[in-house]
Chain A
Amino acid sequence: MEFLQYFGGVFEPTSFLLLLGGTMGGLILGATPGLSPTMAVALLIPFTFQLEATQGLILLGAAYTSTVAGGAVSAILLKIPGAPANIATALDGHEMARQGRGTEALHVSFLASGVGGIIGVLLLIFLTPVLARWALAFGPSHLFWMAILGVTIIGSLDSRSFVKGLLSGCLGLWLSMIGYDDIQGAQRFIFHDSLTGGVNIITALIGIFAIPQVIEMLAKGRVKHKIVAVSVAKQSLLSSLKLLSKNVKALSIGTVTGSVIGLIPGVGGQIAGLLAYDQTRKFSKDRDTFGKGNPAGVIAAESANNAMVGPSLVPLLTLSIPGSPTAAVLLGGLLIHGIFPGSDLFDNYPEVAWTFINSMLIGQVLMVIFGIWVASYAARVSQIPPPIMAAAVLVLALFGSYSVQQSMGDVYIMLALGLSMFLLEKVGFSAAPLVLGLILGPIAEANFIQGSMIANAMDGPAQYFLMGPLNIVLIALVLSSIAWSFFSSRREAEKNALLSDTVAKGGGAINDPFHDDTGAQS
């Protein structure tokens, strides 16, 4: 309970102003496509040169928490996930916005972020020593199996066809191989200078999600009668809270997945949202409504990616190991004030450490308040006529992909990926599995090669990858995930066969699988 005595520090006038500013600024930065939480925090570091250590960290902590949540805004309203953490949010969130339920989507997104985030920070406060050991338990072999566990959900993620899901996943895995391989020193598929550094994940996200819908919107043209103004439904906070309480299951799956996976250095943040989304759908009774505007999808994804924020700092604060790129930037922010994180951080600098953590706790609350406040205004974005919207999204996509690393090459990659994705979507492939492949490829590959190198110096690969309790648990999870997908797809097929029988008997046409939601919107 030591942290309680340092709460006063957060409410000192300067500190609280910084906290307010950091939260609001973070929400705006997070909502800007191309500005990931890592970049937002890095941009703020020079400002902390002038501040005291505690104040500087308050600013950085507030910005970190709110940029993660802010990414949901562009994911929901524009279908451009601000960071890998927000991919799953876009799946159902953007559908909701298109149906005029943008306010509702933003409300539950911020509420779920707040709940997940607060639980995550509480874990950081109470369980840090225990969690630190857990973070270290994952070696290359375990991370390899974690990535494979992620691969097993590729087929079932947001795709009407299992095979097409797997194929887009493979495309993503291939894209992830492009560039210079840091471990073996090989240059792979570098057929253009822009590809030397590989395909940046943020660039890919912008292209794959934003460009196809820009083309879709432009294709509709400016014909008046085809443009249907979306009426944005009013949504009271109370009914959003009720909605959240109805989805406690999604909320708990998201929070648990986020906080457990967030701990694992190098993996956590990127896949927590997608894994939570997939789990929630698998355990849901109305599985078919996911991807069509089910608030449970938004709740699971957002609670997971904010629950991850607190635990992801455990390795940094106790072992001085940054577990994520954002944590690495925060480490820089600590060092600049002469503070070395480590097991004695809380003994040597209790005021700095606890004020920082407390500010993240208060920051979560402020973020929810601001988020809810702007939600009903922000949701009106859906009312913008498609031609104007298409232009705006295109500008944001160009600006965002350039700003990732100030490179025109990234803009070309973004456009090329976007155009290809538009064509792929026409033949029934979807974006989420492709992106998941792109994220998991490097994790699986790097850890497999490193693991093999270590294994060769030890007892051989079989012993290294297959033995040990953690390996066995992870392998069991992989196997059960595959089995689950197999059985559920068979059950689905039987159900569909039954359904099409009755439809055929009734004389109705069988739905054309290519003529799905795109037709319904125009």
Chain B
Amino acid sequence: MNKTLLSLALVAATSVMGTSVVSADDFPERPISAMVSYGAGGATDFQARIVTMMAGNEDYLGQPMVIINKPGAGGRVGWNWFASEADNDGYTMGAYNIPHFIAQSIEGGVKYSAESFEPIANWGADPAVVVVGADSPYNSIEELIDFAKENPGKVTVSGAGLYVGHHIAALQIQKATGTKLAYIPTKGGGAAAMKAVIAGDVVSGINNLSDAYRAREAGNIKILAVADVARSEEFLPDVPTMMEAGYEVDNASVNFRGLMVPAGTPAEVIDMLAERVQAMFGNARVAKQMAAGGSPMKIMSRAEVQEMWAARQETLTDLLAGLK
């Protein structure tokens, strides 16, 4: 009896040690999961499924990646879970959305901050754009802003929610132009915000470049400006940036998407993932599927993402300070 107990204890001890000491040579020896803090079928989920589809290839991770959705409260449910409960052994990765999670952590009431996560690599960047309905009287961003200046608080602007890229862009526009906009957050995400613009429920809207591009192709809206530092040469070469129009609005509202691991993951594993995952995002088949879906890609290394997170933390702290 005692012998059995002893051997059981030994087995348990070795298995515990076995999981805690992950050697980068064997990693990964089983499938890796990727947590997405939005529902199945949303833009983040949809893109995450495409960029991880080649993970099983020997050149990348040699193991498939499985998407796990933990939606709720604008992403807070998933990121709370990721910061407090996810294993930090490299087998549990998560998708991040910037500026969402940083803005939420500044606002408070969540269990995470930028320090809770370690970025691996960035796959996409979807800038916010200012849109109006196809039959709107405004044909340029200047006309819309001038009207807003004359009628403070009268210009309704729909967006996907609070503390998301669209909200940040609206705050930046207000700050840069000295106008007062009526920002209307919607419950159904970007699609509901776009519907409000097309149906004429609101004067204008802020939406994702990818969705706005499709809506314009369908003849439903006009796109007045891009809230980024450069024009989108691939999708909207004719639409000026806010900067070109003379408003000090930078790329703080651009929705960056990528993969991360919880803080405390072994350094060798992070380095290995950072290299292989970035290469995986660069795969030709991934690029083809992403382009087909109208999803703009922007591949960034771990170092570049770390720099971008730090820059966002600073800008957003400033911007949101006036809001509380």
Chain A residues within 8 Å of B, Cβ to Cβ: 38-39, 41-43, 45-46, 49, 136-140, 179-180, 182-185, 187, 193, 196-198, 200, 265-266, 315, 319-322, 325, 328-329, 331-332, 335-338, 340-344, 405-407, 442, 446, 450, 453-454, 456-458
Contacts and interface: CB of A to CB of B under 8 A. Distances in A.
Contacts of B77: 196-197, 405, 407
Given A266-B192, A332-B46, A457-B154, A187 B184 contact: no
Contacts of B153: 456-457
The 3 closest A-B pairs by CB, nearest first: A197-B72, A342-B218, A329-B41
Interface in B214-235: 214-215, 217-220
B155 interface: yes
| Most B Cβ at <10 Å: residue of A49, A182, A184, A328 | A182
A139 B74 CA distance: 23
Given A39-B40, A42-B40, A187-B109, A266 B188 contact: yes
A266 B186 CA distance: 11
B173 interface: no
Contacts of B39: 38, 325
Contacts of A335: 46, 292-294
A338 B70 CA distance: 27
A353 B108 CA distance: 46
Nearest to B108: A187
Contacts of B276: none
Contact of A38 (B40, B109, B185): B40
Contacts of B155: 457
Contacts, number: 157
A185 B163 contact: yes
Interface string B182-221: 1011111001101110110110000000000011011110
B198 A336 contact: no
A185 B195 contact: no
Nearest to A334: B293
Given A340-B214, A340-B218, A49 B289 contact: yes
Contacts of A328: 41-42, 191
Contact of B199 (A39, A42, A136, A344): A136
Contacts of A265: 188, 192, 195
Interface residues of B, number: 54
B68 interface: yes
Interface string B155-176: 1100001110000000000000
Contacts of A140: 196, 201
Given A332-B41, A335-B293, A342-B220, A196 B72 contact: yes
A457 B156 contact: yes
B191 A343 contact: no
B76 A196 contact: yes
Given A321-B194, A457-B153, A183 B185 contact: yes
B265 interface: no
B50 interface: yes
Contacts of A38: 39-41
A336 B70 contact: no
A267 to B, nearest CB: 11
Nearest to B74: A182
Contact of B69 (A405, A446, A458): A405
A281 B49 CA distance: 45
B73 interface: yes
A454 B182 contact: yes
Given A183-B161, A265-B188, A325-B41, 9 more contacts: A180-B72, A196-B72, A198-B72, A337-B292, A338-B292, A340-B217, A341-B214, A342-B218, A407-B77
Interface string B73-95: 11011001100000000000000
B114 interface: no
A41 B293 CA distance: 18
Contacts of B50: 336
Contact of A454 (B49, B201, B215): B201
| Most A Cβ at <10 Å: residue of B80, B154, B191, B196 | B191
A357 B192 CA distance: 24
Given A49-B289, A407-B70, A322 B185 contact: no
16 contacts: A42-B40, A42-B45, A139-B199, A183-B185, A200-B72, A319-B218, A320-B215, A325-B39, A328-B42, A336-B289, A341-B214, A342-B217, A343-B218, A343-B220, A442-B187, A457-B155
B71 interface: yes
B53 A46 contact: yes
Contacts of B154: 457-458
A335 B208 CA distance: 15
Nearest to A140: B201
B107 interface: yes
A343 B215 CA distance: 10
Nearest to A326: B41
| Most B Cβ at <10 Å: residue of A49, A322, A450 | A450
A365 B185 CA distance: 42
A297 to B, nearest CB: 30
A197 B71 contact: yes
A54 to B, nearest CB: 15
| Most B Cβ at <10 Å: residue of A38, A43, A336 | A336
B80 A193 contact: yes
Contacts of A319: 195, 198, 215, 218, 220
Contacts of B41: 38, 41-42, 45, 325, 328-329, 331-332
Given A42-B40, A340-B214, A406 B191 contact: no
B49 A45 contact: yes
Nearest to B53: A49
